[in-house]
Structure 1
Amino acid sequence: MRRNLFAWIPVAGVLIQLAVCTAAVAANLKTSTATKTKYRITGVVKDALGRPIKHAVLSLQGSSGKVVAHASSNDAGEFSFNGIARGTYAVVATSNGFKPATAIVAVSTKGAAPVVVAMEAEKAVSLAVAATRLDKARNSLSPDTGGSKYTFTQQAIQQLPQGSNTPLNQVILQAPGVAQDSYGQLHVRGDHANLQYRINGVQLPEGITGFGQVLSPRFAQSISLLTGVLPAEYGLRTAGVIDIKTKDGLLDNLADVDFYGGQRGTTEPSFEYGGSKGNFSYFVTGQYLGTDRGVEPPTSGPTAIHDTSNQGAGFGYFSYFINSTTRLSLISGTAINHFQIPANPNQPQMFALEDVPVYPSAKVRENQFEQNYFNVLALQGTVGENFDYQLAPFSRYSAVTFNPDHTGDLIYNGAAAKVFRSDWGNGFQLDTAYHGITDHTFRLGGYFDAERAEIDNHESVFPAVGGVQSSDVPISFVNDLALQTWIYSGYIQDEWKPIEKLTINYGVRFDLYDGLVRADQASPRIALEYKLYKGTTLHAGYARQMTPPETELVSVGNIKQLSGTTGAPASKGNGNPTVERDHLFDAGVTQEVIPGLNVGIDSYYKKASELIDEGQFGPALIFETFNYNKGRVWGVEFTSSYNHENIYAYDNFAYSVAQGTQVESGQFNFAPDELKYINSHYIFLDHDQTFTNSAGAVYTWHGFAFSIDGIYGSGLRSGFANTGNLPYYIQVDGGITRRVTLPNHGGVLEFRTAMVNMNDHIYQVRNGSGIGVFAAQYGPRRALYGGIKWELPFTKSASAQTP
């Protein structure tokens, strides 16, 4: 009895407030305005995670405390009171397992706004429930209204032919509008790189470009690619946002070891381990990859010359619940990769080196060593029911060392350069969201990043007169410099639902870049999403965008040093890379044709000034940034997917055009005749691919899963000023998996067989021509792989634990 009395004390307080409010309203209303018109009150009952509560008992109380109506919630948590007069009321909800909850609603001549009654569980919230609630709050910080979102769930990743052994870039290749390039590069919607990587909503600072995949699908709960007109909180790199939600030891209690490998000398052991103890949870994973085909070789044969690679990566996610609404988490990752650069046999010797009359090109031995380390510390939580926040300081260090074959590079290229580049970025990101105003979600946040790049070149060349070698004794130069960049960003935006079917997200961000140049810009954004009718959604938007250059460049001093040598560039111009500014327009529609069958179409147009592009302009496989004065990119994407019982299939097709004109920086990388042509023509960018297609299917039968996926490309650009293009290519991969439960609680074994390029189609990703392309690269040849994963039985659920 005492417990029931205390439970109603808050209700009594609310009634007092109602009485005061009602008296104030009555004092300002004339009795002549009284009317007999009746109104309807509607609402929904939800728990702390926003899930509907069915069969809740509701009563509507007037200012005197008298109950004027009764109702109960349906399976969707919805309720209504009919025939209600104007006034101020209290909606009181009760349900087994929950504390009584109250919400105030005012009925005016315009009716009443929908009511949300949030009920709190009587028992302490478990850690698993708290984690789910905070994950939902974290997702609310990162909306995607108006853009296109393509998500790979953990199940979808596992159903790929190679499962979680699939490199991240090959996972993303299955999304619409993504074209592959050599060295693991991806091009989304006609942009060169310009990708932003986020882990649990936190943007990682950029690292030095290399071959290795720093991030792995192995630690992902889901991977999403966001494109199009994105809300104001997304900036700097906007061609695509790759958003990774990590596995969590609390929600993903697991332990497994995986042994995978096959042809091309491939060995790839890995492990995953996640669990929790008290308020602390953890998830760690690690993998090693050894292969004899680490980089796309310049030869078509299945076995490349000097192409062995050893790659190791580790990742950890650790979280601690300070209380049920506040979580502190640490994300830490590392990737250390060593690559041999494949040799190209039977090439003619171009230069003479003292005491070395013959040096076959097949014996050229170049190597590249890459390091990446990143850490993110995130404090994330909710305040009441209406305010979410996340504050995340971060740090990332990356370095690339290119070691030349001093003799071979001098003989075949006329220059041998040992190149070291490092980048250390530190900063923080703040995101907040406020839901306290009906039909609005306000978001406010900022981003700060300070980066220091070290660029060291130790180069040997031959003396030359008029571009012709004049001595067979090389001379050496050293050019070391450091570059400091600062980025300051802030944004404010509102997600507004003026009517049930329409969502409008509008806002503005401000970016200031201080590095190679100093530039700033205010960038307005607006996007609309309209649910025309059930199963049909329209979206459209506009975004002003600003993209800073990479923190890498070749100095003017270096070019002057090389004057009168075989390393001298053909052109003298060397304007500093600058920021890109563009206008982006996007519109599309998605439609559920029948249950399980979804189709969509999306179109975009980007008009850019100082369009950023990148290229490899020498034997060191490190990219250089340059700008076109003007750029234009447009295209259309078609998507479709079908999911029914034991079959899932998808198909994505894209048409894209990317062009630029007038080289504004890094002109020394171009031949004079190309510069002249580009200054008077719009040319296709080297990474432009007119048609791109990805498709796949998964079929499960009696415990077996059969999967197949494929990619088609019409070919990247080639030739003088990118006026040609490579032939089309098709690559099809397939796989079979079988899961077997071991007796006596021995866990689960998963057997996997995969074949890459099943039709053994020989194709070139690059042929060595085109702007910023130094050598030819071939796609993978047919190869058979297999693996056994043992899911260990000793992990236990921690969902019953409480903070």
Structure 2
Amino acid sequence: MRHRAIQILFCLSVLATFAAAQTVVEGSVRDTSGNPVSGAELSLHHTPGNTVQSTHSAANGTFRFSGTEAGTYTLTAAAPGFFSSVHNFVLRPREPLALTIELQRQERVSEQVEVHATYQTIDPEKTGSSYTFTREDLERLPDPLLESSNDLVTNLMPGASDSHDNFLAIRGTEFSLHEFINGVSFLDNAQPQFNPGVSPQIFETVDLMTGGFTPEYGNRFGGVLDITTRSGADLGGHGDVNFRGATLDNYDINADYGGQAGALGYYLFVDGFTSGRYLDPPEPRELYDFGKGARAAAQLDWKWGSKDAVKLLLMGGGTSFQQPNITDDQLVGRDAQRHLRQETGILTWLHTFSSETLLATSVYARDGSDRVLPTTDPITPYSFASRAPFTLGVKSDLSRYWHGHFFKAGMDLVRLRELESFFFDSRGDPDVFPAFSGGLKGGQASFYVQDHFSPLPNLTADLGARYDYFDFIDTAVQLSPRVGLAYHIKKTKSVIHAAYNRYFSPPPIEYSLLASFIGHNAVDPSQRVGDVRAYTQNYFEAGWAQELRPQISLELNAYLHTGHNSFENHEISISRIFVPINFHTARSNGAELVLNLKQWDRLGITGRFQYAVARTYFYGPITGGFAGDEPLAAGERIIPAFDQTHTGTAQ
């Protein structure tokens, strides 16, 4: 079914309307005494300086910019009899922002023009833990951090640990990196073993979120990458070609180009790479670990009038890599390989009814293939596996600003198809597994409602709920309340926040059919634990953010989550085929410290330091999937293989 996702997407584009994920900037203009300033001229500029919108403050000093993309912005305010004011800030995807602009009155007509500039170092309304990086921030990072989303997360997301074969665990949850691309999410895991990945070089912004998720962000939690992709409208018919070379056959060449023709913006990106250390091997010595791949992306942006905007994003990629060996397997010539291919299409549309009401709808599709090729040596176990996933979805939400409340209600409907096969010849190895070939169709229906508002001065609340009906292998239903609070202490430039979230995570889709098949048909009857199941969690978080000086902040967050049917991946013998397994319950707690130097003007440096301490426990018995040969007794406790107590990174 190659390219089926893209073909279906274009067919549907003729029949329906589609969406984007944008947000609102609103606020008020006041003088130094707190009185409203009416008629002030406000201009919103997107870096590198294009004017996005302009307006005037109302009689009560209020203003609003609707349908605004995430990114770095400068807001200028000017009024007769006042000095001008400049406010610099980063707008997060899908997160409304409220600003108070203060203008200083000119005491004498003869006074020279003076511009007062401010920078929003910490977000006073952020009720969870997240860290936003703009395109300008990403371009300052060392090139190796931009090779993949895994590399980006490992180095910049607190609480993330990189285990064997580049599997990521985030805050005690494996199979947990959840990509949210232009407002759309997929159930696929962003792991190099399963996915060619999205290049960070096409990001306009990325919000690395670790807690306090509003209902629209869906399922599968440990960490969320809220990504908005680049538009070519700012490139002005220019582009770049970049080459990087390093030891261990690490090479990368990429190019991009973009511009605008009338109302149409266009952006193209291509990338090819090789690596002699493609995956983190099972032992420190480098044995049979070469990989290569290519990725491409194209985006078209079209605006007509002041009410509508359309964005089409097409992405494709593939990787072919060796499955790394341990020394004993290398000596006998084991040479198993893996080939991954994936195509994604997202067509988005935004309609602005008024400055208070936005309608967004999305249609998205993804097609892929995964082939685990067997070894040619005659000694080690022989294994072959393949999977062919397909996803088709529609997401729509309505946002309404009303008397200080920013309401959003929406739905997300997903159709899934999964084809899998597996064959294993032990060649004398004691592990024995039945052959499998099968397919399944299913889906998910989700509905959510949320409100962002300020019930008291300096206090912000995010309240909402999400309903999920998941029908794939097993059927599960859950209503998930989510609550977040943030209190801004203006005098000390501090923000204290806390959140409670109820989460529902569907089973990892990668080889979930195979895991459930083994769960019913294992050769050892004691390992027949049934289907892999959904993971449900109660998640608590509290934190404190402090501005130390403009563009320098310190953040401290602590969390605790407990749940049922927690996930971990389990390898089938030495096949390098990883399938999900459920444990009865899990508990994880930890704390994270982040020092962020966005820009220290006096020294001319930027930097970031983060440290995390965590502990995770799984409790038996095993309740679903591939149990392996070490099933836990009821109540027995283990520390999972991915657990990492202390993690520190610095740039």
Do both share a fold (TM > 0.5)? yes
Q: Name the residue aligned to 2:113.
A: none
- Select which of 155, 158, 170 maps to 2:136: 155
- Structure number with the higher strand fraction is 2
Are residues 596 and 395 of structure 1, via their aligned partners in 2, closer, same or farther at CA, if it must alter by over 3 Å?
Answer: closer
Distance 2:569 2:295 in 1: 27
Match of 2:506 among 542, 548, 562: 548
Partner SS state of residue 554, structure 1: helix
The residue aligned with 1:450 is 415
1:292 equivalent in structure 2? 276
User: Structure 2 residue aligned with 1:504, among 451, 461, 468?
Assistant: 461
> CA 1:219–1:571 in 2, change beyond 3 Å: closer, same or farther?
same
In 1: Cα distance, 2:522 partner to 2:498 partner: 51
In 2, Cα distance between equivalents of 1:430 and 1:635 = 35
Amino acid at match of 2:220: R
The equivalent residue for 2:62 is: 116
1:335 aligns with 2:317: yes
Residue of structure 1 aligned with 2:346, choices 355, 361, 376: 376
SS at the partner of 2:273?
strand
Deviations along 1:267-310, whole A, 9 cap, x unmatched? 21110111110111111111101233223334544xx4433222
| Aligned mates of 1:429, 1:100 — CA distance in 2 | 31
The reply on whether 1:203 has 2:185 as its aligned counterpart is: yes
**C-alpha separation in 2, matches of 1:624 and 1:164:** 28
- Look up the equivalent residue of 2:148 and give its one-letter code: P
Distance 1:136 1:384, change over 3 A: farther
Cα deviation, 1:590-629, whole Å, max 9, x if unaligned, reads: 1113444321211111110122222223333232112111
Give the match for residue 541 of structure 2: 586
Query: Is the 2:414–2:444 Cα contact (8 Å) retained in structure 1?
Result: yes
- Equivalent residue, structure 1, for 2:162: 180
**Normalising by structure 1, what TM-score?**
0.65
CA distance, structure 1, for counterparts of residue 191 and residue 297 of structure 2? 20
Task: Quote the Cα distance in structure 2 between the aligned partners of 1:202 and 1:538.
Answer: 30
Q: Calculate percent identity across the aligned residue pairs.
A: 21
Distance 2:519 2:217 in 1: 37
Larger Rg, first or second structure (1 or 2) = 1
Aligned partners of 2:68 and 2:581: how far apart in 1? 53
Does the CA-based 8 Å contact 2:488-2:496 persist in structure 1?
yes
Aligned with residue 203 of structure 2, among 177, 197, 220: 220
Task: Give unmatched runs, 5+ long, in structure 2.
Answer: 1-22, 44-50, 76-89, 98-122
Question: Is the Cα–Cα contact under 8 Å of residues 176 and 223 in structure 2 kept in the other structure?
Answer: yes
Q: Secondary structure at the match of 1:664?
A: strand
Q: Within 5 A, what are the aligned runs for 1:76-91?
A: 79-80=35-36
Say how many residue pairs are matched: 571
CA positional deviation for 1:498: 1.9
**1:477–1:681 distance in 2 versus 1, CA, 3 Å:** closer
- Is 1:270 matched with 2:254? yes
Query: Does the aligned pair in 1 maintain the 2:519–2:624 contact within 8 Å?
Result: no
CA offsets, 1:173-200, max 9 Å, x none?
2221111123332221111022220122
Q: Does 1:681 align with 2:636?
A: yes
Q: CA deviation at 1:224?
A: 1.4
Tell me the amino acid that sits aligned with residue 647 of structure 1. Answer: I
Residue 787 of structure 1 corresponds to which residue in structure 2?
A: none
Q: Which amino acid aligns with 2:380?
A: Y
Question: For residues 63 and 610 of structure 2, what CA distance do their matches in structure 1 show?
Answer: 42
Indicate the SS of the match to 1:233: helix
Q: Distance in 2 between matches of 1:247 and 1:463?
A: 53
Alignment-derived partner of residue 85 in structure 1? none
Counterpart position of 2:107:
none
- Per-residue CA deviations over 1:86-145 (Å, capped at 9, x if unaligned) read xxxxx77899999997967xxxxxxxxx5525699xxxx99999x999x97963479984
Q: Specify the code of the residue in structure 2 equivalent to 1:361.
A: L
2:393 paired with 1:427: yes
Change (3 A) 1:294 1:594: closer
Q: Which residue of 2 aligns with 1:519?
A: 476
Q: Return the offset for 1:658.
A: 1.2
Q: Judge conservation of contact 2:208–2:225 (CA < 8 Å) in 1.
A: yes
Alignment counterpart, residue 412 of structure 1, candidates 380, 389, 398: 380
Q: 2:480 & 2:517 partners in 1: Cα distance?
A: 35
Return the offset for 1:689. Answer: 0.8
Alignment RMSD (CA, Å): 3.7
Check whether the contact 2:175–2:508 (CA below 8 A) recurs between aligned residues: no
Distance in 2 between the 1:438 and 1:93 partners? 21
Taking the aligned partners of 1:592 and 1:525, their CA distance within structure 2 comes to 27
Per-residue Cα deviation, 1:696-739 (whole angstroms, up to 9, x for no partner): 2xxxxxxxxxxxxxxxxxxxxxxxxxxxxxxxxxxxxxxxxxxx
1:251 and 2:234 are equivalent in the alignment: yes
How many Å apart are 1:477 and its aligned residue?
6.7
**Corresponding residue for 2:650?**
695
| Alpha-carbon separation, structure 2, partners of 1:337 and 1:515 | 28
Judge conservation of contact 1:333–1:373 (CA < 8 Å) in 2: yes
Distance 1:163 1:305 in 2: 21
Task: Return closer, same or farther for 1:163/1:517 CA change in 2, 3 Å cut-off.
Answer: closer
Indicate the SS of the match to 1:172: helix
Gaps of 5+ in 1: 1-47, 55-72, 82-90, 105-113, 348-359, 470-475, 564-568, 697-803
Match of 2:127 in 1: 146
- Pairing 1:238–2:221 present: yes
Aligned to 1:665, what secondary structure does the other structure show?
Answer: strand
Partner of 2:9: none
1:440 pairs with 2:421? no
Q: Is residue 307 from structure 1 mapped to residue 286 from structure 2 by the alignment?
A: no
Contact 2:516 2:626 in 1 (8 A): no
Cα distance between partner residues in 1 of 2:616 and 2:547: 31
Q: Distance in 2 between matches of 1:660 and 1:145?
A: 31
